[in-house]
Amino acid sequence: MLKRPPAPSVTATPNRTSGVCRAYGLPGGPSTRASRVLLFLALTVPALAENASRPLQLTEELPTLKCLGVRWLIAGDANRNARVEVAYRKVAEAQWRKALDLFRVDPQGMRSAVRPPSGHFLFAGSVFGLDEDTDYEVRLSLKDPDGGDTEKVVKMRTWAEPKLPLHSLAIQVTPDGLAAALAKARPGDVLHLAKGVYKGTFRPPSGEPGKPVCLVGEDGAVLDGDGKANCISAPGSHDIILENLAFRNATWALNFNASARITVRRCLITDCEYGFVATGNAPAIERILIADCTMKGPSTWPRTKGIENARGIQIAGQGNVVCYNRISGYADAIDTFSSYPCSAIDFYGNEISECTDDGIEMDYSEHNTRCFENRLTNCFQGISIQPIHGGPVYVFRNAMLNLGLETFKMHNAPSGGLFFHNTSVKAGIPLVLWTGQPVTNCVYRNNLFIGTAANYAYETTAPMRDCDFDFDGFGGDWKSFLKWNSARYATVEEARDKCPVYKHAVRVDTATLFASGLKPPTDEKAQLPPTANDLRLKEGSAAIDVGAPLPNINDGFAGKAPDLGAYELGAPLPHYGPRPIPR
């Protein structure tokens, strides 16, 4: 079994010509020759440039249930050798835990409206795996050899999942009385919808913080849009909970554009082209939770109509969570959207299948959006970042089976994507990126890309700028290993020796890789059941103990080093899709 210990952590100046990103001090990095180039560039910075760092505004992102995020504006650091180390702990604990360093955002990757002025840099990053409704301290340590070292400790509290209000007025509603009941509802009221069909388009009134207006259905309570645009049309609303309701027969099931503090939980959506939408006037969009729902769209697998319009969820804003849903039969299951801001949004625990475009889109994300622990089966493309505006956008521990083309769609000049511990299994080329537009400031670590027969294990036609790809595993029957910035590398060994990336790439045997015995599909048109998507590793495979350590991402790995892919050897499958109802 191949075992390669991780290289030491390094930090250096970005080297655009080599294609190596130094936004993080992660294991791996440029060759000795590239490091000499970096040193030369650092020594030739004009004398008048300000190399010392001056910390400026620190911004706390809106917390989510499991994650916290920050952004820190820094002046100076012209030679780009500063870094911001991160540690965190619960307020009641003594021991600090290390997290990933803050990510240096490429200013040119940001939208011009929010780009820092010349001579300033933005650092941003997240802490993951937290308990909800809990106080934490996050310690940020700015370190610059040229001066300006600063430490800040910020206290932040994770979000609590919204609950039905206690001691509320319970209002019993039948199908012929919903419109009248909504007209009379006040903040804190809970409307209990009896079994039956409620036809038409309805607008719940807004509640107040801590006093939402709630619509809770008995089993069999169905809101039927009667073929109109919406079942629920409530743009500009706030403080509403929808629970245990079915929606059908409309273009949009739920329209909550420009809305805040909306919870949709344990609902069923069928026969609608769009499931849930909250875009437009994104500064108003925050604290939206979509959890434990089932959405069945109109699209079928395999795709026969090209790119369709149908979308399960479209959302922008900040502080939003989409988790533990079962979504199938759309062009895209879950999308971020081009309304701004688009930050601090989490997608996790979702079971996704039969998507004729992208399983998940993180498109138009700005900072601290996170896509993790989702399972995708039968999707034309996996996860999209076309584009993202600076990042970091985190994509980690996602399992993808039977993709039609690109595992990660990185078109339209994205900047700031971080891809850790993902597993993709598909027919054909294991990893491909076909676009002529540049990809900037992106990082890959500890991923597994599995395919069948192809010209390359990984072919990218994009100009790769300031990108740092390493410690990934590849499986399949390819003719050449890698095409990177127009250069070709015939074997893994040649790439390790000569390429500016993939110094620790690994080749794995697809026949003995997975404990389930799964082999790559030979025809993506086959519709595989999501239960076939079990990509846990088999003991003894070459993907074990060859990854790079990533604090707060793969803490507590079992062997000498982390394993590649979505699952550490011996770990149970995460829960995907709606969770059991608590009893």
Q: What was the pLDDT predicted at 36?
A: 35
Q: What was the pLDDT predicted at 282?
A: 82
CA distances from 27 to 24, 132, 415 (A): 9, 31, 20
The Cα 532–Cα 528 span in angstroms is: 7
- pLDDT band, very low/low/confident/very high, at 499 (cuts 50, 70, 90): very high
- pLDDT one-digit tens code per residue, 419-435: 999 999 999 999 999 99
Task: List the one residue out of 309, 360, 399, 370 whose CA is nearest residue 553.
Answer: 370
Q: What was the pLDDT predicted at 81?
A: 97
Q: What is the mean pLDDT of residues 488-504?
A: 98
**Chain-centre distance of CA 252, in angstroms?**
24
Delineate the domains of the chain, giving CATH numbers in brackets: 47-157 (2.60.40.10)
The Cα 427–Cα 456 span in angstroms is: 13
Q: Which residue has the tokens 């970005």?
A: 14
CA angle 260, 293, 162 (to 5 degrees): 40
The Cα 520–Cα 424 span in angstroms is: 10
> Are residues 236 and 284 in contact, defined by beta-carbon separation less than 8 angstroms?
yes
Q: What was the pLDDT predicted at 583?
A: 76
Q: Which residue has the tokens 């979702």?
A: 350
Q: What was the pLDDT predicted at 32?
A: 33
Q: What was the pLDDT predicted at 582?
A: 81
Q: Which residue has the tokens 């019993």?
A: 172
Q: What is the mean pLDDT of residues 434-461?
A: 98
- pLDDT one-digit tens code per residue, 257-281: 999 999 999 999 999 999 999 999 8
Q: What is the mean pLDDT of residues 354-366?
A: 98
User: Does 3 score more than 90 pLDDT?
Assistant: no
2, two tokens: 């191949």
User: Does 35 score more than 60 pLDDT?
Assistant: no
The Cα 332–Cα 323 span in angstroms is: 16
With a CB cutoff of 8 Å and minimum separation 6, the contacts of 119 are 50, 75, 76, 78
User: Does 170 score more than 80 pLDDT?
Assistant: yes
> Are residues 536 and 567 in contact, defined by beta-carbon separation less than 8 angstroms?
yes
| 40 φ/ψ angles, rounded to the nearest 5 degrees | -60, -45
- pLDDT band, very low/low/confident/very high, at 9 (cuts 50, 70, 90): very low
Q: What is the mean pLDDT of residues 152-159?
A: 98
Mean pLDDT of the chain: 92
DSSP assignment letter at 491: S
Q: What was the pLDDT predicted at 23?
A: 57
- 3-class state of residue 99 by DSSP: strand
With a CB cutoff of 8 Å and minimum separation 6, the contacts of 543 are 448, 473, 506, 508, 513, 537, 563, 564, 565
Is the Cα dihedral 288, 291, 293, 296 positive or negative?
Answer: positive
DSSP string, 408-430: EE--S--EEEEEES-EEE-SS-S
Is the Cα dihedral 254, 260, 362, 578 positive or negative?
Answer: negative
Q: What is the mean pLDDT of residues 105-114?
A: 94
- pLDDT one-digit tens code per residue, 286-296: 999 999 999 99
Q: What is the mean pLDDT of residues 75-93?
A: 97
> Are residues 440 and 468 in contact, defined by beta-carbon separation less than 8 angstroms?
no
Is the Cα dihedral 128, 131, 134, 139 positive or negative?
Answer: negative
The Cα 312–Cα 356 span in angstroms is: 12
Q: What was the pLDDT predicted at 29?
A: 53
| 431 φ/ψ angles, rounded to the nearest 5 degrees | -145, 130
